[in-house]
Amino acid sequence: MDYFLTDEQKMIVELARKVAQEKIKPVRQEFDESCEFPWEIVKELSQADLMGLYIAQEYGGFGGGVLELCLAVEELCKVDGGISLALAATALGTFPIILFGTDEQKKKYLPKIAKGESLAAFGLTEPESGSDAGATKTTAKKEGDYYILNGTKCFITNGGMAEIYTVIAMTDKARGARGASAFIVDKGTPGFTFGKKENKMGIRASATCELIFQDCKIHKSNLLGKEGAGFIVAMKTLDQSRPGVAAQALGIAAGALEEAVEYAKTRKQFDHPISSFQAIQHILANMATEVEAARALVYAVARALDKGDKDVSGASAMSKLFASDVAMRVTTDAVQVFGGYGYMKEYPVEKMMRDAKITQIYEGTNQIQRNVIALDLIKKAAKKK
C-alpha cells in the first residue's frame, strides 16, 4: 500500500532496509546468543546517517520527526528487534532534551547523538516504581549550584552503553509526582555507576542494566525544564516515544509475516506447498490484515505528533497497545506456520516471538496503555458537556 511517503522518506526506508539486510541479518543469531552489544552495527547506522533522523538540522540531524524515526525502526526490526534498539532507545533518551532542553543543552548534546558519537538512555523505571512512575525513590538534593543524586534505576535500555542519560529524580518528596525533576547525567560522572546487566528472554543484543547513583553530583545547568516538572517531562516524552515502540512491534510482526509467507511457499506436505492449504492461507491473511492495520495507525499517530498535535496521549497509547498486541499474535502465528521448525533457533521466528513480548511490557505495559486511553476518552467526553 502507498502510505503517501515523500521521496526522502522512501529513501530512509530503502537505506534502513539495506543496512538491515546486509549488515544485521547475517549476524542477528550470533548477537542473540552472545548478548553482546552491536557496536559495529551502531557504526553502520551512524555512517548511514540514521542516528539523527529525528533531530533538527541546526543540531546536526536530518531534520525529520517521529515518522522518519518510525520508518527506520520498522525496517530494522523486520530483521532484528533487539539490535535496532541502539537507535530506538537512544531516541527515547533524546526526546526529553529535544522537548525540554535549553538551547545550550541542545547544542551540547544533540550533535553528538545525531552523529552517532554518543548513545542516550532514559532513566525512569525503578525496582519499586515501574508502572507507578509517581512512586520514584531516587532523590536529587539541591546543594548550592549542584544536585546530589542518590538511588537506583533498573531495566534501562542502552544502560551502560549510552554516554548521555536523562534521569527522573525526586527534588521534593512531599509534593508526590509534582516533586519530581528531570536531569541530564553524563556517563563517567563521579557517583554514577552501573549495576546488574539483565539476561533477557528476547531483545538480547540490547543492553539492559541498572543505573546506580551514590552521592552523584551534577550541576544545576543539567536540570531539564524546571524543578518539579519531571513527571511532565516523563509523560510528554512517552507520548512522543510510544509510536517508536509501536514501530518496533510493527517491524517484528512484518518481518515474521515475510518469513512465514516465504516458508509456506517452499515447505511441502502431501506433495503440495503448505501455502496451497486454506488453513494456512487464512492464518497468513489474518496476519497481513493486522500488520497493515497496525502500520496505518502507527503512521497516523507519528504524523499527528510531527504536525504538533498537543492532544495525542490517547492515540499514542493506542499505537503502542495495538501494534504490540498484533506483534505477539502475528509472531505466534508465524511459529505455527513453521510448525516444529518454528520452535527451533535455526529459524528466526522463535526469536521474533520472544522479541515481540517485550513490546507489550516496556514503556508502559499494555494494561497501563488501556488506562491512558480510557482516561483520555473520559476527559474528552467531559469537555463536550
Instruction: Note whether 252 and 215 are within 8 A (CB).
Output: no
Exposure b/e, 215-233, CB count within 10 A at least 16 = b: ebebeeebbbbebbbbbbb
Q: Helix axis angle, 230-266 relative to 66-79, nearest 10°?
A: 40
How far apart CA 241 and CA 11 sit, in angstroms, is: 22
Catalytic member of 75, 163, 290, 363: 363
If one counts every other C-beta atom within 10 angstroms of the C-beta of residue 324, the result is 30
Which grid cell is 119?
Answer: 548513545
How far apart CA 127 and CA 210 sit, in angstroms, is: 9
Q: Are strands 120-123 and 164-170 parallel, antiparallel or unpaired?
A: parallel
How far apart CA 321 and CA 372 sit, in angstroms, is: 10
- Residue 217 makes CB contacts below 8 A (sequence gap 6+) with 146, 147, 148, 149, 189, 190, 191
DSSP β-bridge partners for residue 184: 166
How far apart CA 101 and CA 381 sit, in angstroms, is: 33
In 3D, which of 262, 247, 78, 102 has the Cα closest to residue 182? 102
DSSP 198: P
Which grid cell is 98?
Answer: 529535544
DSSP β-bridge partners for residue 169: 181
Amino acid at 314: G
DSSP element (H, E) containing 170:
strand 164-170
How far apart CA 50 and CA 44 sit, in angstroms, is: 9
DSSP β-bridge partners for residue 181: 169
58 is annotated as an active-site residue:
no
Show which residues are catalytic.
363
